[in-house]
Amino acid sequence: MDIPEGSHRSRRHFIGATAAAVVAAELGMTAAAQGRSGEEKPEVPPTAKPGANKSFSSLKQKAAGVLNVGYAEAGPASGRPVTLLHGWPYDIHSYVDVAPLLAAEGYRVIVPYLRGHGTTRFLSSKTPRNAQQSVFALDILALMDALKIEKAILAGFDWGSRTADIIAALWPERCTALVSVTGYLITNPQANKQPSPPESEWAWWYQYYFATERGELGLTKYRHDLGKLIWKFNSPTWNFDQATFDRTAAAFQNRDYVSIVIDNYRWRLGLAKGESQYDALEKRLAQGPVIKVPTITIDGADDPFTPPGNGSAYRKKFSGKYAHKTLKAGHNVPQEAPLDFTRAVIEVDGFAQPLSK
């Protein structure tokens, strides 16, 4: 889970597409095929229900960088690319309702498992199981290269937001537009050494747990129960069922899951060094680079990690065309509010399109 840098944190469902043509007609748009002015508001049927889709029709594998990446793909190969990035403790099923909607609009949708999750595997046993923030961005760029995707709309939450933010900030030529839940999540490890208010520190209990050998053993033994506990805390108004959680929890059986999760949180606290080859990237990221690509940020109103101020805590970090939305959802916005998340992706695509004359 992720929190914007320097903010005070307080504790505060789409349709199963039976036919692409039907969904597209209901959406009332052809965003992928038409240029938008950015002023049009996507129309999505209010009767659509989340949770109708239980799984992706198939998964693919692609060697990319140091990984063999497992990913779901939907939509036409010629469509405008959209890459959807999940967080922790989540997986690609956060987008199981969003992907078919975007596909029905003509987008080419790629939903990869991050390193340490699902069917994504390291190509070599000798590769360090490093989980500092920059390597996730490099993984996604490598996958885009392998799939011959020059540029994509990037959308994510939690670890996925951070990864998308990094690409948008450092490689804007690879990012058409950005949807980032909880706003700006690029980490400054030095700033992370400063304490937060007690309520925030309490909410981050697992971060400190993972800093210990006991926590690593606990994640290994109780990865299923721990993930479910965090889901409940993160999304207090989301009444997910056991089957929904279990579909995602299967991704936690990846052989590198524990190593990646532990390294990620220890790196953020300065307890894991990362690799020197990424020092230059991390130095740039620690400076908090401004994101210039068209962006929509989203906060979940029921997310205990949503900063106050309706996006004001991170507004200055986005200098391009911008909009902010607060949705009735918890932390896992795309799975809890897939209609609204889909709207945001289509709307931000409009931001990136040239004005029609």
Give the pLDDT means over successive 10-residue stretches in the chain (357 positions): 49 34 41 42 48 89 98 98 98 98 98 98 98 98 98 98 98 98 96 89 94 98 98 97 98 98 97 97 98 98 94 97 98 98 98 71
pLDDT of residue 286: 97
85 - beta bridge partners? 156
d(CA 265, CA 263): 6
Query: Is the CB of residue 227 less than 8 Å from the CB of residue 332?
Result: no
Report the length, in residues, of the chain: 357
The predicted pLDDT at position 52 comes to: 79
Q: pLDDT at position 39, please?
A: 41
Q: What is the pLDDT of residue 113?
A: 99
Question: CB 320: neighbour CB atoms within 10 A?
Answer: 16
pTM tops 0.85, yes or no: yes
φ and ψ of 212, to 5 deg: -110, 160
**Peptide bond preceding 172: is omega within 30 degrees of 0, i.e. cis?**
no
Q: Which residue pairs from 145-152 have beta carbons closer than 8 angstroms and sit at least 24 positions apart in sequence? A: 145/64, 146/62, 146/63, 146/64, 146/65, 146/69, 147/62, 147/64, 147/110, 149/81, 149/83, 149/108, 149/110, 150/174, 151/81, 151/175, 151/176, 152/81, 152/82, 152/83, 152/110, 152/176
Residues 298 and 310: their CA atoms lie apart, in Å, by 9
Q: For residue 126, count other CB atoms closer than 10 A to its CB.
A: 7
- CA–CA dist 250, 117 (Å, integer): 9
Residue 247 CB-density burial (10 A; 0-12 exposed, 13-18 middle, 19+ buried): middle
Q: Is 307 exposed, middle or buried (0-12, 13-18, 19+ CB in 10 A)?
A: buried
Mapping DSSP onto H, E and C, the string for the chain reads: CCCCCCCCCCCCCCCCCCCHHHHHHHHCCCCCCCCCCCCCCCCCCCCCCCCCCCCCCCCEEEEECCEEEEEEEECCCCCCEEEEECCCCCCHHHHCCHHHHHHHCCCEEEEECCCCCCCCEECCCCCCCCCCHHHHHHHHHHHHHHCCCCCEEEEECCHHHHHHHHHHHHCHHHEEEEEEECCCCCCCCCHHHCCCCHHHHHHCHHHHHCCCHHHHHHHHHHHHHHHHHHHHHHCCCCCCCHHHHHHHHHHHHCCCHHHHHHHHHHHHCCCCCCCHHHHHHHHHHHCCCCECCCEEEEEECCCCCCCCCCCCCCHHHECCCEEEEEECCCCCHHHHCHHHHHHHHHHHHHHHCCCCC
The pair phi, psi for residue 176, each rounded to 5°, is -65, -45
Interatomic CA distance for residues 145 and 290, integer angstroms: 24
pLDDT at 278: 98
Q: How much is the pLDDT for 51?
A: 77
What does the pLDDT read at residue 6?
Answer: 43
